[in-house]
Amino acid sequence: MNLGLFFCVLGAALAVGLAGMGSSKGVGTASEAASAVISNDPSKFGKMLVLQLLPGTQGLYGLIIAIMIMLNTGILGGETVTDLGIGLAYCAAALPIGLGGYFSGKAQGRVCAAGCALTAKRPEESSKAIVSASLIELYALLGFIISFLIVINI
C-alpha cells in the first residue's frame, strides 16, 4: 500500500473510530442512568430512549465522513489515491469529526444521564433535558460540517 492511500485509510478509521468511541461511551453512560429510571418506572421508557439515543449521533457523523473519504479515494473501488499530500489532507479532514465526536459524545452522555435523573423526578420537564443535551450536539455538528467541507474540497 502506498503512503497516500495509507493516510486516506487512517483518516477514515479516525473519523469513525474516534467519533464511535465518544458515542459508545455517551450512549453507555446515558443508558446506565436510563436503566435505573426504567427499573423503578417502566412507563418512562419512551422519554429515556430519546436521551439514550442522542449521544449516538456522533458515531453516525463519523461514519458518513469515513464513507465519503473511502468513496473519494478509491478505497471502495476505482482509482486509488497515491499522492502523499492528498492522503494527509484526507487524514486531517477526519480530525474535526473524530475529535469533536469523541469529546462531544462523552459530554453529551453525561448531560443525558443528568437528564434521565431530571425526568425521573419531574417527567413533565423531559423536554428541558433534551434541549440541554442538544446544545452539545451543536459541537458535533460543527465538526461534521468542517470535515464534510474539507472532504468535498480536496
Rounded mean pLDDT for each run of 10 residues along the chain, 154 residues in total: 91 97 97 94 91 95 97 89 93 97 96 94 90 94 97 95
Q: Which residues contact 92 (CB under 8 A, 6 or more apart)?
A: 11, 150
147 grid coordinates: 470535515
Could you tell me the pTM of the whole model? 0.90
For residue 80, what pLDDT is reported?
87
For residue 1, what pLDDT is reported?
67
The number of angstroms, rounded, from the C-alpha of 129 to the middle of its chain's C-alpha atoms is: 19
For residue 134, what pLDDT is reported?
92
